[in-house]
């Protein structure tokens, strides 16, 4: 069934557990993620990013409604989350597309501007019945990353994080603790003691972005230290693309996309299953 993000996150937080949000770019991503979650018997969050919406010609509804429809017929609880939104117009479309939550991304703005933009996004979201995540302490690695005020080495300051959450009213906070977006090797080292200090300073659940680059042991420690929502995108694309490449290479006469997208979707399911099983133990 379709479940609210806020409920899945709150439940994970009380159990000192985590809930994983996987990025959806195509229908095959959503199908693979749901198959993997059902095999692991774990709830999961499907997240569609602003970048994925841009890829789909700026259209949010087709992919979102398809993902919501798949979620409704799933045997596990599935939430739908709109990720890394910078465009307020897009934010406002979330309300009638099956989303229960949004990540409003003002992480690249200077502090005072981040606070005021996020506070007004949170007010709108709560009026619309949506759970809102925001980011403080820019997690680098996105393609259009700014280079000046915030770089990948930046860390979230606990005192500033407490002030930020109090002034914006957000429901969850994405923090910069050593991960970076779009890493294709799992070599990130997280500042585990900073995660603990952030958990003590901040009254809302903490979110880790760029989790594809984080090794299993570091991820599990991060959950023990206080991370509740784990965002994974690139790891699925590595699995998916490897199978497409290998299949087309070994069968050069192939033309039916189902013959390479099908096995690629299975690879996404396997990666989701492995990840959820690893995090459950
Ligand atoms: O919001 C999405 C995540 O931060 C994904 O990051 O692609 O590096 O796993 P990743
Ligand atoms: Zn992210």
Query: What is the whole-number distance in angstroms between the Cα of residue 231 and the centre of ligand 2?
Result: 6
Ligand 1 atom closest to the CA of 180, numbered from 1: 8
Q: Write down the pLDDT at residue 272.
A: 99
Q: Write down the pLDDT at residue 130.
A: 98
Q: Write down the pLDDT at residue 150.
A: 41
Task: Assign residue 126 the CATH number of its domain.
Answer: 3.20.20.70
Q: Write down the pLDDT at residue 152.
A: 57
Cα separation, 236 vs 269, whole angstroms: 9
Nearest-CA neighbor of 30 among 2, 10, 4? Answer: 2
Q: Write down the pLDDT at residue 135.
A: 93
How far is the first Cα of the chain from the last one, in angstroms, to the nearest whole number?
24
Cα separation, 61 vs 53, whole angstroms: 9
Cβ 189 vs Cβ 218: under 8 Å: yes
210 CB within 6 A, ligand 1: yes
102, β-bridge pairs:
82, 132
232 CB within 6 A, ligand 1: yes
Instruction: Please state the ipTM of this predicted complex.
Output: 0.99
Beta strand extents in the chain (DSSP E only): 19-23, 44-49, 78-85, 101-104, 131-136, 172-175, 206-208, 227-232
For 64, residues 6+ apart whose C-beta sits below 8 A from its C-beta are: 48, 80, 82, 97, 98, 99
104, β-bridge pairs:
85, 134
Cβ 123 vs Cβ 111: under 8 Å: no
Query: What is the whole-number distance in angstroms between the Cα of residue 155 and the centre of ligand 2?
Result: 15
Ligand 1 atom closest to the CA of 209, numbered from 1: 4
Domain of residue 71 covers: 5-280
Q: Write down the pLDDT at residue 147.
A: 44
Cα separation, 49 vs 37, whole angstroms: 20
Q: Write down the pLDDT at residue 149.
A: 39
Give every residue of the chain whose pLDDT is below 50, as ranges. 147-150
* Cβ neighbour number for residue 1 with a 10 Å cutoff: 11
Q: Is the dihedral of CA 96, 208, 169, 13 positive or negative?
A: positive
134, β-bridge pairs:
104, 173
Query: Residue 93 corresponds to which tokens in the numbers above?
Result: 């479309």
Residue whose CB lies within 8 A of the most ligand 1 atoms, among 46, 176, 182, for a mutation test: 182
The H-assigned helical ranges of 136-233 are 158-168, 192-201, 216-225
* Total domains, the chain: 1
Q: Write down the pLDDT at residue 144.
A: 66
Query: Residue 39 corresponds to which tokens in the numbers above?
Result: 């095999």
191 is catalytic: no
Could you give the angle at the alpha carbon of 191 between the alpha carbons of 185 and 192, nearest 5°?
A: 110
Residues annotated within the binding site for Zn(2+) are: 84, 105, 135, 181, 209
Q: Write down the pLDDT at residue 146.
A: 53
Q: Write down the pLDDT at residue 57.
A: 98
Q: Write down the pLDDT at residue 153.
A: 75
23 CB within 6 A, ligand 1: yes
């Amino acid at each position: 069934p379709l479940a609210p993000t806020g409920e899945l996150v709150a439940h994970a937080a009380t159990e000192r557990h985590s809930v994983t949000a996987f990025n959806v770019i195509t229908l095959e991503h959503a199908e693979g993620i749901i198959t993997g979650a059902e095999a692991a018997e774990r709830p999961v969050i499907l997240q569609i990013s602003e970048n994925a919406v841009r890829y789909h010609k700026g259209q949010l509804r087709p992919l979102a409604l398809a993902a919501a429809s798949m979620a409704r017929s799933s045997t596990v609880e599935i939430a739908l989350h709109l990720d890394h939104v910078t465009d307020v117009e897009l934010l406002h479309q979330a309300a009638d597309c099956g989303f229960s939550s949004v990540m409003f991304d003002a992480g690249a703005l200077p502090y005072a501007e981040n606070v005021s933009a996020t506070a007004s996004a949170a007010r709108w979201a709560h009026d619309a019945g949506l759970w809102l995540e925001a980011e403080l302490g820019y997690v680098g690695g996105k393609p259009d990353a700014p280079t000046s005020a915030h770089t990948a080495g930046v860390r979230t300051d606990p005192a500033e994080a407490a002030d930020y959450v109090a002034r914006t009213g957000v429901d969850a906070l994405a923090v910069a603790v050593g991960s970076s977006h779009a890493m294709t090797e799992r070599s990130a080292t997280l500042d585990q003691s900073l995660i603990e200090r952030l958990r003590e300073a901040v009254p809302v659940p903490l979110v880790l972005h760029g989790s594809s680059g984080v090794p299993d042991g570091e991820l599990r420690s991060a959950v023990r230290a206080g991370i509740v929502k784990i965002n994974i995108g690139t790891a699925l694309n590595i699995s998916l693309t490897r199978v497409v490449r290998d299949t087309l290479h070994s069968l050069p006469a192939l033309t039916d996309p189902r013959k390479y997208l099908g096995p690629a979707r299975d690879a996404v399911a396997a990666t989701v299953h492995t990840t959820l099983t690893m995090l459950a133990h």
